[in-house]
Each structure stands twice: as structure tokens, then as C-alpha cells.
Structure 1
Amino acid sequence: MRIAMVSEHASPLAALGGVDAGGQNVYVARLSEELARRGHDVTVYTRRDSTDLPDRVTLPGGAVVEHVPAGPPEPIPKDALFPYMPGFGTHLSRVWRRERPDVVHAHFWMSGMASQLGAHPHGVPVVQTFHALGTVKRRHQGRDDTSPTERIGIERQIGRTCERVLATCTDEVHELAAMGVSPRRVSVVPCGVDANHFHPGTDTADAPAREQRHRLLSCGRLVRRKGYDQAIRALTRIPHTELLIAGGPPADRLHSEPEAERLLQVAEVEGVADRVRLLGAVDPRRMPALMADADLVLCTPVYEPFGIVPLEATACGTPVVATDVGGHRDTVADGHTGRLVAPGDLAAIADAVRELLAHERKRRRFGETGRERVLARYTWQHVADGVEQVYRRTALGRELRTEVA
């Protein structure tokens, strides 16, 4: 199949850990790589954000990244990209007039907008993955939500008019239904994890030296909604334990990062500054060692559309304590691979962590079960199987309707 991936702000080439670079970048990169490995012709369309970028870049697996001129060729926060989506869509339409894809897979709502503009003139079916929904973001962030006011209405329109919505977790199906998108239009295929890269037995010699008996690890984008402050506050109830936070800019630039400064201040006020370390951006090659060295991985966001960190941790055989939100409800099997706790409940977070830290045998059992679960459900091969089936059904359904018409 000729597959067009559209990911307007999340390039598979981007360095991870920045404000707008995280799980979506990984998803697009790894899914594209796996589909190309299977012989599909895959092109990823992402916005040009630098004059130094070539027009096209071939990924190691054979997929191609094409940089689309849409707005100034410079970094722009994703919530400010909305005015450039019509131009993005016009570019796609021109490209697809010359070489029509069999299916378009749009990632994020603005990509969906551009994809529909580009695909409609040529009768190309669009599969939509939102990765995050505006209704959820607005519910949790309120006035702090910087999304364009048009977002929710456009998401609703996309969900009702695209050929298929490909959700990454079951919680998203319920959120979409509340927006008026019928569950019959939705298929659930989770995100995946590289189980060869993240695995138990990783050499942990490269991990930072321990300063306490136990080690907790939190990681991901250094943004407020990830709830690292909740992990820091819970640490006050967890003795002889240190917390490492990986993510954000490189360590030598953390001093100029507002969220890093805020977290360090929280640690100081709570009296645990000596047990909290911000590592900054960590080389992806070092992450398995960091996860394998931790006693527990702590994921405490106030909301999480999917959350790939629990999968990476359990692939390494490390149990997870996570908030009972969004995709965590799928990726963390409570009482089997980790614990789910109410978001914002510091006592519950601390209780779950202390319980597991006190029982090494249970942690080991959770880690083994988690690894088995990843291999059974969450490898990129499994993900690509599910996505491929959605593509084929979608393309076939469009062809059949065209013939009838």
C-alpha cells in the first residue's frame, strides 16, 4: 500500500523531551518504520521548522519524511500552528494529485484538518488518530489551555467525517462518544514499545549512582500536566528513597527552564530537595538502563491520552505506580504489573509506592508479568498488525462505495 502519514508538529526526526516532542513522535516514527519494513510505501509529511532541513529524508527502515512548507521555517509552538493548516492541506493536495496514496493516516487534530483538505479532492480515505482530545485538555487545564478556540469543534467534525478513527486506548472511545462520535466508527489499536531496546537485564552501570536505598524514576516531557510535583510531594511520605526526573532540555540548560525551576522549588519547600534530581534530557540509548535500575517507575499525570512510559518500564521488568487516568487504565494492569491510584491523592501514591518497595518479591513478579504482557500485546509488530488491518478495511470500503456510486 501507498501510505501517507501526516504529523504536522511531531516529526519522527525530532529530539525527544521537548515541550512538543514526545509520544506522538515515537508513534509515528516506529509505526512508519515497521510498515515500511513490511514493504509498504510510507511517506511522513511534517512541517518544515528550519531552513536547514532537506526536502526529503529517508529513515533507516525505508520510510521517507517530507518537510512541508507551512508557515515560517522556524520552531513554533504547536498551539500556534492552526493558521498554517490550510496551506499545509493545499500542499498535500498538490502532492497527492501527482501520486495518490491508498490511505492517509492523520496524527493530531490539525493534521486531520490538513489531511482532509488534501485528500478530499482526490477521494483518498483518511484514518484519524487524535493522540489527545481538546475536550479532555480543556476539562483539566481550563483557562490555562492554549489550544485554539476552534479545536473542539474541528475535532468533532473530523471524528464524524473521516473514514475511521483509530484510538489508542479504550478511554478515548468513551471521550469520543461524549463528543458525538459513534463507537462504531472507532477502532482501538494501542501504542507500542520496542521490546528489544527496552528489556530486563540491561546493563545499569551507566545509571547515576544511588544516594538512597530505593530509587523512583519519573520521565517524559517536562510540562506541568505530567504531575511531577505530585511525585515530589508524595516523596515526603516515602523515607530512604530518591526520585529521578528525566526529561526537558539538556541538563546544562535546566536552570533556564521554568518548569524545572518550579519543581526544584516544590522540592525545597517540601523538604526533599536532597532526594530529588532533575536529569534533563536523557539519550534514548540510556533510558533502558535508567528504567531497569529503578525500583519503581512513577507516572503521576493529571491526565494522559495514552502514556508510553508505563510500557517502556514494564518492558524493562520494572513495575509502575501510575495515576488512574486515560491510557494508563489499559497499559497498567492494577495488581499485576503495577498499581493504579487516584490522581492527586498523595497518600494513595505514597501508600502504593511504600507497599511495593517493602516487597521485593512482589516487584519482581510484577516486572515479569509486565514483560510478558508487553510481548503479548504491545510490540510494534502487534501494533502494525492492527493498524494494517484498519488501513486495508478502510481502503477497501472506500473502493466498494465508489463502485456502487
Structure 2
Amino acid sequence: MRIAMVSEHASPMAALGGVDAGGQNVHVAALSAELAAAGHEVTVYTRRDDPTAPERVPLCPGVEVVHVPAGPTRSLPKDELVPFMPAFGRWLAQDWSSRGAPDVVHSHFWMSGLATLEATARVPVPVAHTYHALGSVKRRHQGAGDTSPPGRVLAEVDLGRRVDTVVATCTDEVSELRRLGVPDRHVRVVPCGVDMQQFTPLGPERPDRVPGRHRLLTIGRLVERKGVETAVEALAELPTAELLVAGGPTAEALDDDPEVRRLRDLATRLGVADRVRFLGAVDRAEMPALIRSADVVVATPWYEPFGIVPLEAAACGRPVVGSAVGGLLDTVRPEVTGLLVPPRDPAALTAALAGLLADPERCHRFGRAARRRAVTRYGWDRVAAATERAYEEIVHPVRLEEATA
């Protein structure tokens, strides 16, 4: 198949450098590469935000990245990109008209969906859509702090009803879409994946462990909803543990980051400042060694559309104690690969961590089971195969009906 990926703000090129890559960047890059390895031709369309970038750039064999001229050729916050989506969509239609239409288009994030529907109104192509995050969930948890453009939720509902299939990343998302009125028949669940060769239990560990001290690790963007505060509060009742916080700005810029300052003030008030270390942005190549150096990976967001970190921890053979929200409800199996606790509940997190740290064999057992489960469910080869089946359902529906008759 000729597959078009539309990822308006999250370029797969950023995944190559690591520090600028979020979950969507990595997802689009890895999924595209795996589909190409399976014999498909993949073109990824992302917004041009650098005037010096070539229009078309090879990402890897079988995958080309196209920089679409839509809006200013500079980096912009994604919440400011909505007005440029019609132009993005018209450019896609022109490109497909001149170069040939793809067999299927897969849009990533709601604004990519808007651009894609603009394009397919002119050049009909079956559409699969992945939200990566839902505005209704963001609004529920962030309230006045939600910076999403007006109309996002209504646009997402409209998308879910108009595309040919929604590729949801977890079962919790399916429930949310059902509440919004998106028909179940439009939805297929295909999780995000993890690189099993990069993230592995075998290999070096970050060589800065303090003898006799347990290591807890959180990874992610430093924003309040990620729940690092809960981990800092739990640390006050875990005197044998330290907490490493990876993510946010570079190490040199940490002192100027408002969330770092807030968390440092909290750690000082709780008397644990000497046991909380902010690492700043960590290069993706260094992440496996960092994860392997931890006894437990802590992921306690208020909400999480999917959550790549628990998968990366599992692939490295480390147990996860996480919030019972979103994708973690699928990726963490309580009492098998880790533990789940209510979000924003430091007492519950303390109890879960204390029990694990006091029982190293249980930690190791969870870690081994996590690796096995990651390999059997979340390798990119399996994710790509499931995504391909979702494409086939909308590209060749008659053929599939005959095969299952």
C-alpha cells in the first residue's frame, strides 16, 4: 500500500535527535519505519517550521518526510496551528493530484484530522485517525488551565463520525469516545509500541547509584498534570529512596523552569531536597541505561492518553507503579508487572512503593513479567501488523468480508 501519514505538529525527524521528540513524534517515526519494512511505501506530511528544510527528506528506506507550507515557517505552539489546517489540507490535495493519491491516509492528532478531511473532500482516500489525546479528557482534568482552542471537543467528535476508522491506543479511550457519541463500529484498538532492541534489560546502567539507597525514577515533560508532585510527597515517607526526575529543559536551564522551582520548593518543605535530583532533558540514546539503573519507575499522571514511559520501563525489565488512568490501565498489570494506585494520592503511592522496595524478589518478578508482556504485545512489528489490518478493513472491505465469511 501507499500510506500517507499526516502529523501536522509532530515531525518524525525530531525522533532522530531524541530530546525534542514527544510520544507522537516517536510513534509516527517508528510506525512508519515498521510499515515500510513490511513492504509499504510511506509518506509522512508535517508542517514546515524551518525555512531551510527541504520539501522532501528521506527518513529511512521506504519512508519520506514532506514539509508542508502552511502558516509561518517557524516553530509555533500547536494550539496556534488550527487556522492553518485548511491550507495544509489543500496542499495535500494538490500533492496527491499531481503525484498520485495514497491508498490510505492515517492522521495523527485532531488538527491533522482537520487537514486530512479538507484534503479528502477534494481527493477521496480512506481515512484512519489516531487522536493521541482527547480534548474532553484534557478539559476535565485541567479546567481553566486547558489551553486548547475553542471547538476542539466538537471537532474531535465530528472527526470520529466522519473518518472511516479510529485507531484508538487504549480501551479507556474507546470508553471516552463512546461517551462522546463516536460509534464503536468506527473504533479499533491498536496500542503504541516500544523498540525492543533499544529498550532491553541487558546493557549498562547509569553509573551514579548511591550505595544502600533505592532509586525511583520519573520520566516526562515537567508539567503539573504529570504528577511528579505526588512522587515527591511519597518520598517523604520512604527514607531509603532517592527520586530521579528526567525531562523538561536542559540541565543548564533547570533553575529557570517554573515547575522545577515549584517541585524543589516542595521537596525542601518536606525535607527531601537532598534525595530529589532533576536531570533535565535526557537524550533518548541514554534512556535505557537510566531506566535500568532504577529499582522502580514511577508514572503518576492525573491523566494519560497512553503513556510511553511505562512501556519503555517494561521493555527494560523494570516494574512500574503508576496511576490507574488512561493507557496505564492496559499497559500495567497489577500484581503481575507492577502496581496501580489512584492519581494524586501520595499515601497510596507510598504504600505501594514501600511494599515493593522491601521485597526485591517481587520487584524482579514484576520486571521479568513486564519484559515478557512487552515483547508479546508492544513490539513495533506487532503494532504495525495490527495497524495494517485496520487499514485493510477500510481499503479492501469487500475482500475482508469474503475472507471471514
Q: TM-score per shorter chain, which class? A: over 0.9
Q: What is the aligned partner in structure 1 of residue 116 from structure 2?
A: 115
Q: Secondary structure at the match of 2:396?
A: helix
* 354 and 7 in structure 1: CA distance in 2 versus 1, 3 angstrom threshold: same
Q: What is the aligned partner in structure 1 of residue 141 from structure 2?
A: 140
Contact 1:159 1:165 in 2 (8 A): yes
Contact 1:12 1:25 in 2 (8 A): yes
Amino acid at match of 1:46: T
Amino acid at match of 1:325: V
Matches of 1:396 and 1:172 in 2, distance apart? 26
- Give the stretch that moved more between structures: 298-307 or 234-243: 234-243
> How many residue pairs align between the two structures?
398
Matched, 1:221 2:205: no
Deviations 1:247-305 (A, max 9, x none): 11211122222222222222222221111111111111111111111000000100000
Q: What is the aligned partner in structure 2 of residue 172 from structure 1?
A: 173
Deviation at 1:306, TM superposition (A): 0.2
Q: Which runs of 5+ in 1 are unaligned?
A: 401-405
Deviation at 1:209, TM superposition (A): 3.6
Deviations 1:215-266 (A, max 9, x none): 0000012222111111111111111110001111211122222222222222
Q: Secondary structure at the match of 2:13?
A: coil
Q: Secondary structure at the match of 2:31?
A: helix
- Give the stretch that moved more between structures: 324-333 or 228-237: 228-237
Deviations 1:364-389 (A, max 9, x none): 11011011101110000000010000
Q: What is the aligned partner in structure 1 of residue 286 from structure 2?
A: 286
Q: What is the aligned partner in structure 2 of residue 304 from structure 1?
A: 304
* 212 and 229 in structure 1: CA distance in 2 versus 1, 3 angstrom threshold: farther
Contact 2:219 2:245 in 1 (8 A): yes
Matches of 2:219 and 2:49 in 1, distance apart? 26
Q: Secondary structure at the match of 1:326?
A: coil
- Give the stretch that moved more between structures: 233-242 or 160-169: 233-242
Q: What is the aligned partner in structure 1 of residue 263 from structure 2?
A: 263
Deviation at 1:317, TM superposition (A): 0.6
- Give the stretch that moved more between structures: 147-156 or 56-65: 56-65
Deviations 1:46-100 (A, max 9, x none): 1111112221221134311111111111111111111111111111111111220
* 283 and 207 in structure 1: CA distance in 2 versus 1, 3 angstrom threshold: farther
- Give the stretch that moved more between structures: 212-221 or 382-391: 212-221
* 238 and 313 in structure 1: CA distance in 2 versus 1, 3 angstrom threshold: same
Contact 1:34 1:61 in 2 (8 A): no
How big is the alpha-carbon RMSD for the aligned residues of Structure 1 and Structure 2? 1.6
* 398 and 8 in structure 1: CA distance in 2 versus 1, 3 angstrom threshold: farther
Amino acid at match of 1:254: L
Matches of 1:314 and 1:213 in 2, distance apart? 22
Q: What is the aligned partner in structure 2 of residue 373 from structure 1?
A: 373
Matched, 1:326 2:326: yes
Q: What is the aligned partner in structure 2 of residue 151 from structure 1?
A: 152
Amino acid at match of 1:203: P
Matched, 1:45 2:45: yes
Matches of 2:398 and 2:48 in 1, distance apart? 31
Contact 2:246 2:281 in 1 (8 A): yes
Deviations 1:96-146 (A, max 9, x none): 112200000000000000011012221101100000000000000011100
Deviations 1:336-381 (A, max 9, x none): 0000000011110011001000001001110110111011100000
Q: Secondary structure at the match of 2:142?
A: helix
Q: Secondary structure at the match of 2:3?
A: strand
Matches of 2:195 and 2:207 in 1, distance apart? 20
Q: What is the aligned partner in structure 1 of residue 183 from structure 2?
A: 182
Q: How does 1:197-212 map to 2 (within 5 A)?
A: 197-204=198-205, 206-210=206-210
Q: Secondary structure at the match of 1:65?
A: strand
Matches of 1:398 and 1:248 in 2, distance apart? 48
Contact 2:19 2:283 in 1 (8 A): no
Contact 1:233 1:346 in 2 (8 A): yes
Matched, 1:59 2:59: yes
Q: What is the aligned partner in structure 2 of residue 337 from structure 1?
A: 337
Q: What is the aligned partner in structure 1 of residue 12 from structure 2?
A: 12
Q: Secondary structure at the match of 2:105?
A: strand
Q: What is the aligned partner in structure 2 of residue 314 from structure 1?
A: 314
Q: Secondary structure at the match of 2:215?
A: strand
Q: Secondary structure at the match of 1:122?
A: coil
Percent sequence identity is 54
Amino acid at match of 1:273: A
Amino acid at match of 1:278: F
Matches of 1:334 and 1:113 in 2, distance apart? 38
Q: What is the aligned partner in structure 2 of residue 103 from structure 1?
A: 104
Deviation at 1:16, TM superposition (A): 4.5
Deviation at 1:212, TM superposition (A): 5.8
Matches of 2:75 and 2:272 in 1, distance apart? 36
Matches of 2:360 and 2:198 in 1, distance apart? 24
Q: What is the aligned partner in structure 2 of residue 234 from structure 1?
A: 234
Contact 1:6 1:107 in 2 (8 A): yes
Q: What is the aligned partner in structure 2 of residue 162 from structure 1?
A: 163
Amino acid at match of 2:298: L
Q: What is the aligned partner in structure 2 of residue 403 from structure 1?
A: none
Matches of 1:326 and 1:171 in 2, distance apart? 5
* 342 and 35 in structure 1: CA distance in 2 versus 1, 3 angstrom threshold: same
Matches of 2:2 and 2:120 in 1, distance apart? 13
Amino acid at match of 2:190: V
Q: Secondary structure at the match of 1:59?
A: strand
Q: Which runs of 5+ in 2 are unaligned?
A: 401-405
Amino acid at match of 2:174: V
Contact 1:17 1:220 in 2 (8 A): no
Matches of 2:346 and 2:123 in 1, distance apart? 53
